[in-house]
Amino acid sequence: MRAPLAGPRVLLRRLREIMAEPISAQVRLDKIVMQIAANMVAEVCSAYVLRSDGVLELYASEGLKREAVHNVTLKVGQGLVGLIAADARPLNLPDAQSHGAFAYLPETGEEIYHSFLGVPILRAGRALGVLVVQNRAHRTYTDEELEALQTIAMVLAEMIAAGDLEGLSRTGAPLDIARPVTIPGKGFCDGVGIGRVVLHEPRVVVTNLIADDTARERDRLTNALTSLRLSVDDMLARGDVAQGGEHREVLEAYRMFAHDRGWVRRMEEAIVTGLTAEAAVERVQNDTRARLQRQTDPYLSERLHDFDDLANRLLRVLMGRGDGALGKDLPADAIVVARNMGAAELLDYDRTRVRGLVLEDGTPTSHVTIVARALGIPTVGRAENVVQLAENEDAIIVDGETGSVHLRPSADVVFAYNEKVQFRAERQQRYRMLREQPAVTRDGTAVSLSVNAGLLVDLPHLGESGAEGIGLFRTELQFMIASKLPRISEQAALYRSVLDAASGRPVTFRTLDIGGDKVLPYLRVENEENPAMGWRAIRFGLDRPGLFRTQIRALLLAAGGSVLRVMIPMVTDVSEMVEARKLIDRELAHFDKHGHKPPLRILVGAMVEVPALLWQLDALMRISDFVSVGTNDLFQFMTATDRGNLRVANRFDPLSAPFLTALRSVAEAGRAANTPVTLCGEIAGQPLAAMALLGLGYRSLSMAPASVGPVKAMLLALDIPRLEGVLGGLLAHPGLPDGIRAGLRAFAQESDIPV
């Protein structure tokens, strides 16, 4: 037998009236369950609320014994109600007692009811309680009834989230969704940031749930979908994504979902039940999220993010919010929270107000991380689900040292972190005191420490860190943050400011390294399957010499009268160095002819970041004035692990025999040919790895400015000959159970070397 349904719209209208009545929360809840039971012709309707101790408590019931209310409890996972909360999935059963999870609770008197329909009370994909209807007769509830119950559960979720049910229970409090959470992640940039959440893509909170005019809501949804589809098409047509890459794939997925008939139909059906268009989007998204969260397939759980983003965009359109302009109304202690972002997007924020960055994705060597490090922003990556858990304005602490994020921290955590900040400030003070001290090891070996830079904002760090110079100036960053190709005069002006700021200290300008994860919004290049190994850096420079030559001219203009150091990225074959040098010489001849003041000297160096160069080292050292090892790329290509792919980026350890052996061969070849060798990949800034590099023969390292202090503190305590002995032993027995990293750490510990 099917019970006639008086209609979810009637029920929602009644619900709205109940919500407006000046009555206590308990009376309101009692009235709600009574209305649901009457409307759905159910003999029982019960609301269970999840308490903060993880127990589901019966908060209201029509039909079950009165004394059961606030006395009956179930653990999550226990009984049918517990199962619904655990799985965040509805149960529709004609005969509840024959279900394996059924738990008999004598206090309720429910044994006479056979059919059972229960739905989770969901908010942001999390179950805050369970809403149940029951009938004596064996019956299967219709989809319409199921949807009506899910809709009402949303209203209850808002009541719980707003704290309306606080104080009703005699023994516990409802789960506080604003409770503190600690999210483990990976420290990408050292430092501690205490502040307030700024969601990079702000989420919209829907508070207006119930509507009278269904036709109007449907039109609103249709219009919003049209404008959403147009904006996705627009984004796809834009230059920055037109050439492909991960960003494009995500947008392609958006386009597919935006046209997904099932999605649209489900939202339309939710509107028919009496919801506003925005509430319908959220309802359907709650379901999708609950469904996809249970997926173990990484591809499908990744799609959840896409659906979340898309639903959020749709909500913004519906609620007339723009894309949430960056930097506007930014609090002075902003901690930016994002799934991921491009380097240029981070630079859009007012640096003086950003205290930290939290990313769900990202990798330690991706570009946004490198920029965050350049800006000295404490950063934690791979903080799972943080975008979902955080709300704008929430208090948050980012600990780049331990890689943890504390959302809505308790008072003790805040206190502990204030202490930690104080302690770190003292340590920074000690590093500052090291600034004037020469970087010489205990055995008297001088080491040159330089900084990596790429933007004007980096320049003050040169003096603050006490570095000897700029070992790597990534010129592409200027191009990446510009909206159009920087003119020669603009390029020259930046290079001039860099040389001025360095006041005589050496600066190594790397020519444009575009491609891979470094894309220029205005430069259309072909869609490449594998851009990191594609037409990038010097390959592009030699094939299309216009851009390369303009850059060389800008460098010559800037460096008149001083030494110019130019470094070529992604050299794969020594002949490319010969070609590059020819182009440079040609520009120099042209320059002389026009009577400009030439640089005092031009030194041309190669980056060693493609493994093929390891077998051309003698020739390379002969024709290069210097070389610099780019371990970020060298490691990526030697181990065939994409540096930007978080699933594999950390799979292998750079402090392993094959990689260290390769690095040693470069240092040795440089020494034999008397060609200076530097190392400028991210590992140079990690004290333990930097120690290993000194053991391999490196005497010049270039790193993020904030690493200079810790690396110098390490080397002041280091005795290189002793390390060489230990490292030689570790490399000779690469199969040691704890690995080379552990062996080096033990050496540092027993020698009192801070790493």
> In the complex, which residues of this chain contact ligand PEP (CB under 6 A)?
472, 474, 513, 609, 630-633, 680-681
CB atoms within 10 A of CB 543: 9
402: tokens are 């331990």
Q: How far apart are CA 500 and CA 488, in angstroms?
A: 18
Give the containing element (helix H, strand E) for 430.
Answer: helix 411-434
Of the candidates 114, 200, 305, 367, the residue annotated as catalytic is 367
CB atoms within 10 A of CB 262: 10
Contacted entry of ligand PEP, Mg ion, none for residue 132, CB cut-off 5 to 8 Å set by kind: none
Distances (CA, A) of 142 to 5, 43, 139, 148: 9, 16, 9, 10
Residue number, 343 or 398, with CB nearest to ligand PEP = 343
Residue 397, phi then psi, degrees to nearest 5: -125, 130
Of the candidates 114, 189, 200, 680, the residue annotated as catalytic is 680
Contacted entry of ligand PEP, Mg ion, none for residue 730, CB cut-off 5 to 8 Å set by kind: none
Contacted entry of ligand PEP, Mg ion, none for residue 394, CB cut-off 5 to 8 Å set by kind: none
Q: How far is the CB of 633 from ligand PEP (least distance, A)?
A: 3
Residue number, 318 or 680, with CB nearest to ligand PEP = 680
**Stretch of 10-18, 94-102, 601-609, 731-739 contacting Mg ion, by CB under 5 A:** 601-609
* β-pairing verdict for 126-135 and 115-123: antiparallel
Residue number, 228 or 372, with CB nearest to Mg ion = 372
In eight-state DSSP terms, residue 76 is: T
Q: How far is the CB of 633 from Mg ion (least distance, A)?
A: 4
Tell me the helix, strand and coil percentages in the chain, rounded to 5: 50, 15, 35
Contacted entry of Mg ion, ligand PEP, none for residue 681, CB cut-off 5 to 8 Å set by kind: ligand PEP
**Stretch of 16-24, 419-427, 628-636, 704-712 contacting Mg ion, by CB under 5 A:** 628-636
Q: How far is the CB of 472 from ligand PEP (least distance, A)?
A: 6
Please report the DSSP string for 194-218 in residue order: EEEEEESSPPPPP---B-S-HHHHH
Q: How far is the CB of 753 from Mg ion (least distance, A)?
A: 29
Q: Tokens 């969601």 sit at which residue? A: 199
Q: How far is the CB of 658 from ligand PEP (least distance, A)?
A: 17
Residue number, 62 or 682, with CB nearest to ligand PEP = 682
Residue number, 61 or 631, with CB nearest to ligand PEP = 631
Give the containing element (helix H, strand E) for 472.
Answer: strand 470-474
Contacted entry of Mg ion, ligand PEP, none for residue 631, CB cut-off 5 to 8 Å set by kind: ligand PEP
- Output the residue with the shortest Cβ distance to ligand PEP: 630
- Site size for Mg ion (CB under 5 A): 3
Distances (CA, A) of 581 to 552, 592, 677: 11, 16, 19
Q: How far is the CB of 443 from ligand PEP (least distance, A)?
A: 28
Q: How far is the CB of 581 from Mg ion (least distance, A)?
A: 20
Do 747 and 485 touch, CB atoms closer than 8 A?
Answer: no
Any residues with CB less than 8 A from the CB of 91 and at least 6 apart, and which? 80, 83, 84, 99, 116, 117, 118
Restricting to residues 59-78, which ones interact with Mg ion according to CB under 5 A?
A: none
Closest CA to 706 of 327, 187, 322: 187
Q: Is 45 a catalytic residue?
A: no
Contacted entry of ligand PEP, Mg ion, none for residue 382, CB cut-off 5 to 8 Å set by kind: none
Residue number, 360 or 476, with CB nearest to ligand PEP = 476
Any residues with CB less than 8 A from the CB of 646 and at least 6 apart, and which? 361, 362, 363, 381, 382
511: tokens are 């020519």
Residue number, 312 or 616, with CB nearest to ligand PEP = 616
Q: How far is the CB of 368 from ligand PEP (least distance, A)?
A: 12
Contacted entry of ligand PEP, Mg ion, none for residue 346, CB cut-off 5 to 8 Å set by kind: none
Give the containing element (helix H, strand E) for 737.
Answer: none
Q: Is 367 a catalytic residue?
A: yes
Among 217, 633, 642, 682, binds Mg ion (CB under 5 A): 633
Do 185 and 404 touch, CB atoms closer than 8 A?
Answer: yes
Q: Tokens 């119950």 sit at which residue? A: 149
Q: Tokens 């420490």 sit at which residue? A: 449
Contacted entry of Mg ion, ligand PEP, none for residue 474, CB cut-off 5 to 8 Å set by kind: ligand PEP
Beta bridge partners of 121: 129
Among 118, 630, 644, 685, binds Mg ion (CB under 5 A): 630
In eight-state DSSP terms, residue 51 is: B
Residue number, 306 or 609, with CB nearest to Mg ion = 609
Q: How far apart are CA 663 and CA 613, in angstroms?
A: 12
Restricting to residues 144-183, which ones interact with Mg ion according to CB under 5 A?
A: none
Residue number, 378 or 630, with CB nearest to Mg ion = 630
**Stretch of 138-146, 193-201, 605-613, 701-709 contacting Mg ion, by CB under 5 A:** 605-613
Closest CA to 93 of 78, 114, 75: 114
Q: How far is the CB of 643 from Mg ion (least distance, A)?
A: 9
Q: Which stretches of the chain bind Mg ion, using CB under 5 A?
A: 609, 630, 633
- As annotated, the active-site residues are 367, 680
